[in-house]
Amino acid sequence: MTLREAQPGRVHGVLEQMLQSPDGKVRQAAVFALEELGGPTSARRLEQQLLLEESRGDSDASSVVQVITQALSQLEIASLRATLVRRLNRLAAGAPEGSDVDDVVYALWRKRHPELIPAVRGALERISPPASEGLRALLRLLESSLQELWVWIEDGSVPVEQKTKVLTVLDEAVPEELEPVIPSFIFLAGSMIETASTKKGQERRFCDRLFTLLLLHRERLLPALPSNARTILREVARRMIAAPETVRIIKAATLLVYVGRREDADLLEQHKPQDEVLARMYEEAAEVLRKFPHA
């Protein structure tokens, strides 16, 4: 029996007791359950609990606030957009941690709407960097047209870390209308691979976040890539596999399963990490690639 199939009154009674527990993990479990139940009643209770947790101000409460914010972003209730904006405004009134701001940024991106732009702009004026970087990325995505995003990605004067933050926000969701910008991010990775594959820095971090985004949405994004973007992505992945272990990106091995060729199996074997678990990832990817037809 699922939570939705149980008696609502009894379930909510149990969850109410859990939300009053001094144990943060118990309260988190109650939040997850309310998210699964869904509906206006659960949403209202989560809004109430959000304020209670904010008033606690301890580390346990911060963890509960995080899962409440995530839950509010998942519930299909339009009014929760305003709840998240109020949370953002409360953060902007103080000196928030970047992670707290980012949690709200990701939630607002899931509930994206042009009406959010004034609220995000207002918060951006009040929250100082680096805590505001997520807001800057959110605003970029909310107010830019496809053409403007293309130009922005290709603009060498824009710091790489700002583009990396946009990728992080897109982890939450890549709307169909933004899929055409993904190749531009790949071309950018290709242009910086010499640096990314030789030392730690913003270029390597950008490639790492790009790989994460593509793998999170692999079923939709990777098959849709044009051939030139696939070719560059394959080369970027190969370079990061062959990079020194201190800068190597392990998930590049998994990415090659989707954009690689049969001959890439040898590269994986040559650069297999010493760690047994990581080495197994390379071996499994190589096994898949060896089943590919000869080019």
CB-based contact 108:69 (threshold 8 Å): no
How many Cα atoms occupy the beta-carbon half-sphere of 38 within 13 Å? 10
294 pLDDT tier (thresholds 50, 70, 90):
confident
For the segment 82-108, the average pLDDT, to the nearest whole number, is 97
Tokens at 260, concatenated: 């690689």
For the segment 104-111, the average pLDDT, to the nearest whole number, is 98
pLDDT tens per residue, range 214-238: 999 999 999 999 999 999 999 999 9
pLDDT tens per residue, range 271-281: 999 899 999 99
pLDDT for residue 4 = 53
Torsion of CA 175, 180, 182, 184, to 10 degrees: -150
pLDDT reading at 251 higher than 70: yes
Q: What beta strand segments (E) does the chain contain? A: none
pLDDT for residue 218 = 97
pLDDT tens per residue, range 40-68: 999 999 999 999 999 998 889 999 999 99
CB-based contact 109:169 (threshold 8 Å): yes
19 pLDDT tier (thresholds 50, 70, 90):
very high
Q: Tokens 């994004």 sit at which residue? A: 221
For the segment 148-158, the average pLDDT, to the nearest whole number, is 97
12's enclosing H/E stretch is helix 8-19
Mean pLDDT of the chain: 94
Residue 128 is classified by DSSP as P
- For 249-282, the DSSP string reads -THHHHHHHHH--TTHHHHHHHT--SSHHHHHHH
Q: Which amino acid is at 82?
A: A
pLDDT for residue 57 = 83
pLDDT for residue 12 = 82
What is residue 78's three-state secondary structure?
coil
Cβ atoms within 10 Å, residue 226 = 11
pLDDT reading at 14 higher than 60: yes
pTM of the model: 0.92
For residue 79, give every residue at least 6 positions away whose Cβ sits within 8 Å of its Cβ, in sequence order, or none: 43
pLDDT reading at 1 higher than 50: no
For the segment 194-202, the average pLDDT, to the nearest whole number, is 96
How many Cα atoms occupy the beta-carbon half-sphere of 77 within 13 Å? 19
pLDDT reading at 178 higher than 80: yes
